[in-house]
Amino acid sequence: MKKLPGLAAGIKDKLIQQTLERKLRQAAAPGAKAPARPAEKKADIPQEHYRFHLHPGYQQLRIINDGANKLGVKNPFFKLHEGTAGAGTQIGGADYINYASYNYLNMSGDPVVSAAAKAAIDRYGTSVSASRLVSGERPVHRELEMEIAALYDVDDAVTFVSGHATNVSTIGHLFGPRDLVLHDELIHNSVLQGILLSGACRLRFPHNDWEALDAILHEQRHQFERVLIVLEGIYSMDGDYPDLPRFIEIKQRHRAFLMVDEAHSLGVMGARGYGIREHFGVDGKDVDIWMGTLSKTLAGCGGYIAGETALVEHLKFLAPGFLYSVGMPPSVAAASLAALRRMKELPDRVAALQARGKFFLERAKAAGIDTGTSTGLAVVPAITGSSLKATRLSAVLFKHGINVQPILYPAVPEKTARLRFFMSCMHTEAQIASTVRILAEAM
């Protein structure tokens, strides 16, 4: 609204109000014509701009699906599991050896974990019905977070309702356009989305190559305010891990932050399953941001951030993914808390998982299967070289009672399309030997 010179503020307001009321009366009068609008030129707007079935992404999906149908390849995804999925599962009324679950320590379905979730529902209901900041806090949330903090020997932790959103919201909130985020070239999509949201400059370095990272920082560090380095504890596509002490030394020397995503390494690495920190024997405070998910070893759903008090308080009061989201259901928090305690009580499960992964890797290599850089810790890929071959192999194994999913382009480069085998502490050596034999014959 333009200023009216020479009039007192009260008179200006009165004149503006009178003008608005007069226009409203004129618009409501009988026979009043609607204001003239420019003629809409619908023909000038392509249908793909307002029809979902013409969206380029959906069109690409249709081309892939139609091509697969012509080749007689069925969609291998969205299989309907009819019970708890662990080392075994039931699909379509039939039993399968299952390698498509993150249920590494068999905590999902564990009677103690299930009982904890049921008790939380009886006490707190199925939802906290609000953000935790407003009115959604429950004791079980803090118990879980303090247990996670103790696991890493850091000040505190905070849990989010989504693992993916944990990375997106944390990186997106803490860093900005004057900052730099350096990440391993095989880092998870959630990290990339978080960097995009932050507006920070993004540079990737070759997989697990700490020397390349060091060289980049020597050139670039002085041009930015905050610098974040992001790694994974175990890379979920390849089953290998970084030399964490090397990266810690680099981050300290260049005065950067270090973030480690432990989604697939918690419960898998270390004698007790405490993750990559235990595997290398490093101090928990040497890593600035510990991130992990609750949906794998911890048998729930969501994610966590652990670190110093300032980091956690900052996220709890200001990070949009926590501040504006409903709190985690009490049953989920209780299940993850029980699973974490069970992991501590049952180190034999961790040892069994590590032994089965090692056995699978050794057998696969002996059979001439390309397992890439896998270390046999929970994840073992069988690289096929093409998406079509990976899909067909998945179907062949399914006919033999083995459920394993293909990983296709664009999730991985076409030449590294693969089957991805997730191990469980409950797999037997007989199941693994049979699986490798059938896979080798099919390949």
- Final residue before a domain boundary, out of 300, 318, 345: 345
Query: What is the reported pLDDT for 2?
Result: 45
**Cis peptide before 245, with omega less than 30 degrees from 0?**
no
Spatial distance between the Cα atoms of 57 and 440, rounded to a whole number of angstroms: 35
**Which one of the listed residues 141, 183, 188, 264 is annotated catalytic?**
264
CATH number, domain of 136, equals 3.40.640.10
Residues 6+ apart with CB under 8 A from 293: 163, 166, 263, 302, 303, 304
Q: Give catalytic status of residue 399 as yes or no.
A: no
Task: Give yes or no: residues 341 and 352 share one domain.
Answer: no
Of the pLDDT bands very low, low, confident and very high (cuts 50, 70, 90), residue 34 is: low
Using a pLDDT cut of 70, give the percent of the chain over it: 92
Q: What sign does the CA torsion over 297, 299, 301, 302 have? A: negative
CATH number, domain of 399, equals 3.90.1150.10
> For all residues of the chain together, what is the average pLDDT?
92
Task: Give yes or no: residues 306 and 357 share one domain.
Answer: no
Task: Give yes or no: residues 300 and 208 share one domain.
Answer: yes
Task: Give yes or no: residues 381 and 326 share one domain.
Answer: no
Residue 13 resides in a domain: no
* C-alpha 15: how far from chain center: 57
Q: Which of 1-5, 112-116, 189-193, 400-404 has the lowest mean pLDDT?
A: 1-5
Residue 428 resides in a domain: yes
Residue 322 resides in a domain: yes
pLDDT at 38 over 70: no
What DSSP assignment string belongs to 317-346?
HH-HHHHTSPPPPHHHHHHHHHHHHHHHH-
Per-residue pLDDT tens over the stretch 111-159? 999 999 999 999 999 999 999 998 888 999 999 999 999 999 999 999 9
Q: Comparing C-alpha atoms, which of 215, 162, 173, 172 is closest to residue 192?
A: 172
Residue 25 resides in a domain: no
Spatial distance between the Cα atoms of 434 and 429, rounded to a whole number of angstroms: 8
Query: What is the reported pLDDT for 27?
Result: 64
Of the pLDDT bands very low, low, confident and very high (cuts 50, 70, 90), residue 409 is: confident
Task: Give yes or no: residues 169 and 311 share one domain.
Answer: yes
Q: Give catalytic status of residue 264 as yes or no.
A: yes
Task: Give yes or no: residues 319 and 180 share one domain.
Answer: yes
Task: Give yes or no: residues 333 and 380 share one domain.
Answer: no
Of the pLDDT bands very low, low, confident and very high (cuts 50, 70, 90), residue 103 is: very high
Residue 35 resides in a domain: no
**Which one of the listed residues 236, 325, 331, 374 is annotated catalytic?**
236
Domain count, the chain: 2
- Final residue before a domain boundary, out of 308, 323, 345: 345
**Range of 435's domain?**
82-105+347-442
pLDDT at 8 over 90: no
Task: Give yes or no: residues 192 and 317 share one domain.
Answer: yes
Q: Give catalytic status of residue 118 as yes or no.
A: no
Task: Count how many residues are written for the chain.
Answer: 443
Query: What is the reported pLDDT for 1?
Result: 45
* C-alpha 228: how far from chain center: 18
Of the pLDDT bands very low, low, confident and very high (cuts 50, 70, 90), residue 62 is: confident
Query: What is the reported pLDDT for 232?
Result: 98
Residue 412 resides in a domain: yes
Residue 39 resides in a domain: no
**Which one of the listed residues 183, 296, 325, 331 is annotated catalytic?**
296
Task: Give yes or no: residues 155 and 290 share one domain.
Answer: yes
Query: What is the reported pLDDT for 3?
Result: 47
Q: Taking a C-beta distance cutoff of 8 angstroms, is the pair 259, 231 a contact? A: yes
Q: Comparing C-alpha atoms, which of 353, 361, 406, 331 is closest to residue 87?
A: 353
Query: What is the reported pLDDT for 33?
Result: 63
Average pLDDT score over residue span 385-391: 92
Task: Give yes or no: residues 314 and 358 share one domain.
Answer: no
Q: Which of 46-50, 211-215, 325-329, 389-393 has the lowest mean pLDDT?
A: 46-50
Q: Which of 37-46, 231-240, 316-325, 367-376 has the lowest mean pLDDT?
A: 37-46
- Final residue before a domain boundary, out of 345, 361, 383: 345
pLDDT at 357 over 60: yes
Task: Give yes or no: residues 159 and 230 share one domain.
Answer: yes
CA atoms within 13 A on the CB side of 215: 7
Task: Give yes or no: residues 257 and 311 share one domain.
Answer: yes
Residue 37 resides in a domain: no
